[in-house]
Amino acid sequence: MRLNLAIGLLLFAWLPGVQAQTAAANATSGARPVVAEGVVPDQATKSRILQRLREAYGDARVVDRIQVESIATPPNWGEYVAAMIGPGLKRVSPGKLEVNGQSVRISGDVVNEAQRQQIASDLSLASNTAYTVTNSLRTGGAAQNVLDQTLANRIIEFKTGSALLTPLGMQILDEMVEKMSQMADARFLIVGHTDGVGLRESNLALSNARAQAVKNYMARKGIAARQMDVLGKGPDEPVADNDSVDGRARNRRIEFKIL
């Protein structure tokens, strides 16, 4: 990527590929990091932009790679860029917002065409339509992608041998609720899986109970119960070897499917 230092450039990305590079900065949140990088004209602009990002995504998720240089920018550039950072961007997952002078490009996945158009419109209005916004958002298969990227291969934990969620499991589900609440017309299948230890019949019952516990939790958080179905598959679809501790942990999982 080339940085045009004559007018300034700023890039925000919330992509799964950056997780390994920013794990330490993001350890407390358990969520995908939001990386801000590029060049801005002064410290006040940097502070304003970082504040908006932290308000939208939380302090723990924001990774600061912004540099301050003596560069020329269009009038009110920092104010316009800060105004572009709002709750609407959280509908894009994963995604990227690039501001290069008066050119803006938004890319990533959204659930439907209405969101795709609304997000681009909000970006244009934030600059009083003075900036050119390129809408590269995708909708094809986006709903399932959003769920997969939000879960990000993490395990929703339960207390041993039970269907009682742990605090970490609830934290991940809260992130899933945030995304699912934007899919008002979707139906979801919550699938429970166990490892291969013990009787198959007992594991089938446990996996179903855990899937039902997830549904109940999400219903309490605002997802309509009629949107969610549950299925317990017990040990029948392992994704790892049950002979190792790590493999058994990976097999004890919850999956979310769009119906």
Token readout for 119 is: 């997000």
**How do residues 82-132 score in pLDDT, each as one tens digit?**
999 988 888 887 788 988 888 999 988 887 788 889 999 999 999 888 999
- What is the reported pLDDT for 215? 97
pTM: 0.55
In contact, 214 and 193? CB cutoff 8 Å: no
Look up the CATH architecture of domain 9-141.
Answer: 3-Layer(aba) Sandwich (3.40)
What amino acid occupies position 45?
Answer: T
Each residue's pLDDT expressed in tens, for the chain with a length of 259 residues: 222 222 334 555 543 332 222 223 333 334 578 888 888 889 999 999 999 999 988 888 888 989 898 888 888 999 999 999 988 888 887 788 988 888 999 988 887 788 889 999 999 999 888 999 999 988 756 678 888 888 988 999 999 889 999 999 999 999 999 999 988 778 999 999 999 999 999 999 999 999 999 999 999 999 999 999 999 999 999 999 999 999 999 999 999 998 8
- What is the reported pLDDT for 29? 39
Look up the CATH architecture of domain 154-258.
Answer: 2-Layer Sandwich (3.30)
- What is the reported pLDDT for 58? 87
Same topology between domain 9-141 and domain 154-258: no
- Quickly list H helices, the chain: 43-57, 77-84, 113-126, 142-151, 167-180, 200-220, 245-251
In contact, 258 and 186? CB cutoff 8 Å: yes
Q: Where are the domains of the chain?
A: 9-141, 154-258
Distance of CA 9 to the CA centre of its chain: 24
- What is the reported pLDDT for 19? 28
Token readout for 46 is: 């940097």
